Structure 1
Amino acid sequence: MAAYELKHFDREDIEAVLAQAERSFNIRFVSNELTHLSTFGELCDYITTKIPLDHSGNCTSQQAFYKLRQALANTLPTATSVIAPSTLLTDLLPPKGRRQTVQQIERSLGFQINLLSPPVWLLAILFFSALASLVSLPFSGQVGLAGFILSALGFRLAYRFASNTLQLQTVAQVAEQMTREHYLHSRRNPSTFNRAEVTKVLTDLFATELELDKALLTRETRFV
């Protein structure tokens, strides 16, 4: 069976995932640094060798859970005894005051966890408004452009002021997201990393950001 290829994804989409990997592992890629890599396995190996930290074999997702539980306990003292991996976020974060509570949790962690989004109905309205504006551009350029700009502004304001819908369900899912998006910050000792976890973290990143089945991301998966 031929290896799966990522060539049908836009280059910008792949670059966005790589930028997320840079932030998560605190590394930087210079221009054309990765052009010699052709498979997902080669990318995982290269990034593993690029992280300039000592190896430590402990589990990052477990450490992320303990960090998150401590941040939740700092913010919600009465909930300390009920925080487990399977705990539902809706039980910890009722709608009233949810945005402020999440911001307090993020301050305790020291980084953003992006738990909230605007309601789906509002995003749908803004999406179709932007689409209608683009369709009208050839017929009424000024009106279409103004509508598109207003829609873009609406998206920005919605994410800033109307985000109150939880994107994840359980504490364990938040810990997994932390491990994926803030790998080093999620570790008890951020000056170490577990070499054996790099491939899993990158697999989770690519699968999540590209909405891709993890089973397709093997070491033989090709970029071109």
Structure 2
Amino acid sequence: MTDTTTIELKNIDPGDISDVLVKIEKSFGFKFGDTELKDVKTFGELCDIITSRVQGDNVDDCTNQQGFYKIRNAIATIQATDKNSITPDTNLQQIFPRPNRRKKIKELKNELDMAVDILDIKGWLRWTIFSGVAGSLIMFFFNWKLALSGLTFFIVISWAAYNFFAKEFKLATVGQLTEKLVRENYLKSRRNSSTINRNEIARKVKEFFSKELDLEEEVLTRQATFV
């Protein structure tokens, strides 16, 4: 184990790790006990606990492949298109044109019965909101009433922007969408949700930590320590 590996994991905010663990619970369909993780010191130990907790008949097949077929069929249904024309490399912008993109993504969510959080607001609008919130926080040092008004205003603007104007894709292809949805909805992505491929679970946990915490997978070795 290198010093870099140790530092990478030690520097993670415990709150961020807790958020990832909640997503893992949802994806794999179980809840950690209150003290179940208190003695966990390495990433490998965490993976072993998660692997042991996931329930289902073990089947040696590929969940990503099954997830892709589900997503492909759902897209073909709501867009009334030939499913065979949809591949992992298919561009999402081509499938979902901007004019009715939000409506179609909502239909995709309902068809899959999964959260499909793949839309974002334009970069300039996101930067404007961020700058406004930051400026309002700084204003607390000078005029708390004005700062509170500004903060409230930009929070409302942020809520409205993400709920009514988010049309930019966070992902580029159907393959990337599949990877995200399978990671976040492992059991739902399988053809039979009462089965699992136990050999995949540690890899999915590594994907969670890598994507959610912006870590290189190379630092997520079994020996990498949290403390």
Q: Please give the TM-score of this superposition, normalised by the length of structure 2.
A: 0.95
Give the corresponding residue for 2:66: 63
Runs of 5+ consecutive residues of structure 1 not aligned to the other structure: none
Distance 1:181 1:41 in 2: 20
Give the corresponding residue for 1:189: 192
Distance 2:40 2:194 in 1: 27
Give the corresponding residue for 1:138: 141
Q: Could you tell me how far 1:86 is from its partner in structure 2? A: 0.8
- Pairing 1:150–2:149 present: no
Q: For this pair of structures, how many residues does the alignment match? A: 224
Q: Could you tell me how far 1:79 is from its partner in structure 2? A: 4.5
Give the structure with the larger helix fraction.
2
Q: Following superposition, which runs of at least 4 residues in structure 1 exceed 3 angstroms of deviation?
A: none
Is 82-91 or 126-135 further displaced after alignment? 82-91
Question: Which whole-Å deviations, capped at 9, do the CAs of 1:156-177 have from their partners, x for residues lacking one?
Answer: 2211111100111111111101
Q: Could you tell me how far 1:107 is from its partner in structure 2? A: 0.8
Q: Could you tell me how far 1:128 is from its partner in structure 2? A: 0.5
Aligned amino acid, residue 184 of structure 2: E
Choose the corresponding residue for 2:175, options 172, 175, 178. 172
Distance 2:103 2:128 in 1: 25
Q: Could you tell me how far 1:149 is from its partner in structure 2? A: 2.0
Alignment of 1:37-186 (within 5 A): 37-186=40-189
- Secondary structure of the corresponding residue to residue 29 of structure 1: coil
- Secondary structure of the corresponding residue to residue 121 of structure 1: helix
Aligned amino acid, residue 70 of structure 1: N
- Pairing 1:9–2:12 present: yes
Question: Which whole-Å deviations, capped at 9, do the CAs of 1:135-170 have from their partners, x for residues lacking one?
Answer: 010110111122112222222221111110011111
Choose the corresponding residue for 1:206, options 189, 200, 209. 209
Aligned amino acid, residue 198 of structure 1: I
Aligned amino acid, residue 53 of structure 1: G
Question: Which whole-Å deviations, capped at 9, do the CAs of 1:1-25 have from their partners, x for residues lacking one?
Answer: 5351312111110100111101110
- Secondary structure of the corresponding residue to residue 108 of structure 2: helix
- C-alpha RMSD of matched pairs (Å): 1.2
Aligned amino acid, residue 188 of structure 1: R
Conservation of the 8 A alpha-carbon contact between 1:79 and 1:92: no
Q: Could you tell me how far 1:202 is from its partner in structure 2? A: 0.7
Identical pairs, percent: 37
Distance 2:99 2:48 in 1: 46
Conservation of the 8 A alpha-carbon contact between 2:55 and 2:196: no
- Secondary structure of the corresponding residue to residue 134 of structure 2: helix
Aligned amino acid, residue 175 of structure 1: T
